[in-house]
Amino acid sequence: MTRRHAAYRERTWAPAWVWILIWGACLAAAGATVHSAGRDPMSTMALVLTLGAVLLFPLLMSALFLCLDVEVRADRLFIAFGPLHLVRKRIAYQDIESVEAVTYRPIREFGGWGIRPTGRKTAWTIRGNKAVRIVLRNGKQVYVGSRFPHRLAGRIKPRLGVR
């Protein structure tokens, strides 16, 4: 990966209430599973498997969606969820028509946060209502969540003239 060659890098963390909700629900499910388990050996095996699955879910969610990373690289914009960057998108600068810092309404316009496609618009956001709207040459729009959208847009714009 060319992470060390990024001209600009921003990491936005998911809000704490999201992780409290996910971990709380999984721990409640684990508690209910333990409470309802019987004493026979098959029940014990089912209990272990169920607890493993219940606790694996929030760990997987954390690995995939703990944060949103945005990097302005030499040849493209790189957007990825989670510290492992398993869910990612790359946008070549030659595919970008325009870039603009915007305030938007994530619930009204996209139905929430995350990777949210709606028609010709897609949001890659993790929190808040600030983003950089990227209009692609094919007419599609990509909203990239940012704590500092003016700064991010300012780092992308000079690269658009280089074709």
Q: Tens digits of per-residue pLDDT, 28-39?
A: 877 777 766 655
50 and 111 housed in the same domain:
no
Query: pLDDT tens digits, residue range 118-154?
Result: 999 999 999 999 999 999 999 999 999 999 999 999 9
48 and 107 housed in the same domain:
no
Q: How confident is the model at residue 40 (pLDDT cuts 50, 70, 90)?
A: low
Sign of CA dihedral 136, 65, 87, 157: positive
pTM for the complete prediction?
A: 0.80
104 and 149 housed in the same domain:
yes
Domain of 113, in residue numbers: 3-11+68-160
- Measuring CA to CA, how many Å separate 147 from each of 1, 46, 157? 24, 44, 18
42 and 87 housed in the same domain:
no
